[in-house]
Structure 1
């Protein structure tokens, strides 16, 4: 059966079996990759005729709100009006029996149960065959308190296994996702690592292409671009170190950094200390990523940790070759090293600089790799990924 036939069959099955699909995240409108992914998938499923409801536990933090617009073809709901106080942290026996501490814990638990009742009401009103997709394990703590009888629950981890293992989320994934109908990671390699930890219901589902522009980058502007939040995990400090190694030999090139965040002032100071201010442009947050990519000819991803980075996919779809630290299975699944981009060992700024310099010094190689990137990334085309989701839904119905 051809790919076109499979896709046509999936579309027919979808039209014949419209579902209620709930996406549950920490927030409906917080800036970041998970919000972008959730709303992209919500639109794609809505286009397939499904009834979609995007749910958030709390409002986005101040300064981190994403404007969703007024034309959403699906509902959105946020449980809390304001972010609830964090529960008291652990401690010894004395703290656990302290009456003030116990009251705070009881109040927090009661507040969670009250908000989970809202989820229960929504879930009970759903049609048979409804799906609950929980994108973050913190949100799963509320879903676990709700009544999901008769629904299929899918828990997702949008980060690599190693990144999760280094965080407090690791234990919570093992606790809260052990009884869901299916846990999904972003790559098969990460799924296998969770399976070895005893979670034998784990599968993999990659992200779909965020967009595929009709017009790729001409790759003529002598600009290396970085797009992402200015946060320690995104490793812009490492990119600046690499840029300082190569900038003197490429005085006609510019490093354009798009993004905002709590590390911006520290990064600007680092830039000044490295003496590269003249070749680095701080362009702030952008709402037009395709335009930013079309005005560049090389993309750099210097993160310390990733899942299945949308930024890489966006750059490759625009025909821009990428250089990235090999920090996660998702990175090396997207980039074929030496064919449509280059990978450097995690944190190796000298190798990152060498790869960037190779592309900056060879326009023919940029064109070859950029064209290959634009072709190869189409294996994550939206229709193909939504078809995989539809197939999973039918499998879990059995």
Structure 2
């Protein structure tokens, strides 16, 4: 390894897509730079729904494609094989992919000895797997739970693409043990780091419950609206503040109207100032169908908010200690989540006690601790 640090390449589906994995990518790149490493972030494609990047980022940010690449075409039956336009489109797609892979190989070839490639999302591994990674250590990651991967096509991708890597990382020890039991003997775990600790926590005086996340099926905002329909009649004067954007926004707004919740739900849009958004709230809620190690949950706790959440993944129950610094409900149980919100919104003393414990406890995932663990892993892989 160079005396000025390693060359580290972080590869994801996109470098600018709105979402927690993108935020993780850029904050991790900054932390590695602060350690003296030379970092290059690479996305398979530029995103349509963008997030604000560090300005300036201080490291190269590359997209292999200007937009999401087309999916491969597979002919179905003899007649399909003679569809000339489709065959031409498939040939063009394959040629574009070869160019993207060669561009990625060229980026990797710039590495000094001791270089590391971190692939933060499963789909991006398809390009990394075809690229020239000779002389590099390759680490794959999954930012979702074993159960969520197992129920999707990504399970097969992980088995096909991650088994031969130098290391692949999940977010919790529980999931690492589960994957090891499923035959993946190169698995370890690495929690996400707490990005920031606001100097001043929320005063927890506003009658607001906050939610932060993309407006997509995974985040379960439809279930949150059903939950709020049970809470709102019992808590007049309280509002649900929904921060986020996504392809399901129109359908979710229509559902909100149909449930008669327009008077108590505020659609706040995306935010790049999470502490500012949370400062006016007293409770945080997470209604996801699946998660990895949710940054939004950690940020809410860092702001001193007690959290009510679906226990949908090991990462959630590792962050929130049920009954101590937040309240968990069985995954998908709308009535149970409503009960947790009613308890937190109805008891100021409980809110304050849990909020204070949340702010103190979440600091066990500090950036300094997580960076130390990354450095230990790099040193281990170099032996």
Q: Smaller-chain TM-score range?
A: over 0.9
**Aligned CA distance change for structure 1 residues 343 and 177 (closer, same or farther; 3 Å):** same
Match for 2:107 among 104, 122, 130? 122
Runs of at least 5 residues in structure 2 that lack an aligned partner in the other structure: none
Match for 1:45 among 32, 40, 54? 32
Aligned to 2:222: 237
Aligned to 1:198: 183
| Residue correspondence of structure 1 range 86-105 to structure 2 within 5 A | 86-89=71-74, 91=76, 95=80, 104-105=89-90
Match for 2:65 among 80, 96, 109? 80
Aligned to 1:265: 250
Aligned to 1:142: 127
Aligned to 2:141: 156
Distance 2:203 2:125 in 1: 44
Please state if 1:300 is matched with 2:285: yes
Cα distance, 1:92 vs structure 2 = 5.1
Runs of at least 5 residues in structure 1 that lack an aligned partner in the other structure: 1-13
Aligned to 2:207: 222
**Aligned CA distance change for structure 1 residues 167 and 335 (closer, same or farther; 3 Å):** same
Aligned to 1:211: 196
SS state of the match for residue 139, structure 2? Answer: strand
**Aligned CA distance change for structure 1 residues 97 and 329 (closer, same or farther; 3 Å):** farther
Please state if 1:187 is matched with 2:176: no
Please state if 1:133 is matched with 2:126: no
| Residue correspondence of structure 1 range 385-396 to structure 2 within 5 A | 385-396=370-381
Aligned to 1:316: 301
Distance 2:180 2:4 in 1: 31
**Aligned CA distance change for structure 1 residues 84 and 379 (closer, same or farther; 3 Å):** same
SS state of the match for residue 21, structure 1? Answer: strand
State whether residues 113 and 142 of structure 1, in contact with CA within 8 Å, keep that contact through their aligned partners in structure 2: no
TM-score calculated relative to the size of structure 1: 0.92
TM-score calculated relative to the size of structure 2: 0.95
Aligned to 2:360: 375
Output one character per residue of 1:266-295: Cα deviation in whole Å (capped at 9) or x when no partner. 222222222222111111111211011111
**Aligned CA distance change for structure 1 residues 209 and 69 (closer, same or farther; 3 Å):** closer
Superposition RMSD in Å: 1.8
Distance 1:110 1:335 in 2: 47
SS state of the match for residue 309, structure 2? Answer: strand
Match for 2:231 among 246, 258, 265? 246
Cα distance, 1:98 vs structure 2 = 6.5
Distance 2:313 2:186 in 1: 21
Match for 2:339 among 354, 358, 363? 354
Distance 1:137 1:92 in 2: 30
SS state of the match for residue 260, structure 1? Answer: coil
State whether residues 211 and 317 of structure 1, in contact with CA within 8 Å, keep that contact through their aligned partners in structure 2: yes
Farther-moved stretch of structure 1 (68-77 vs 329-338): 68-77
Distance 1:106 1:15 in 2: 42
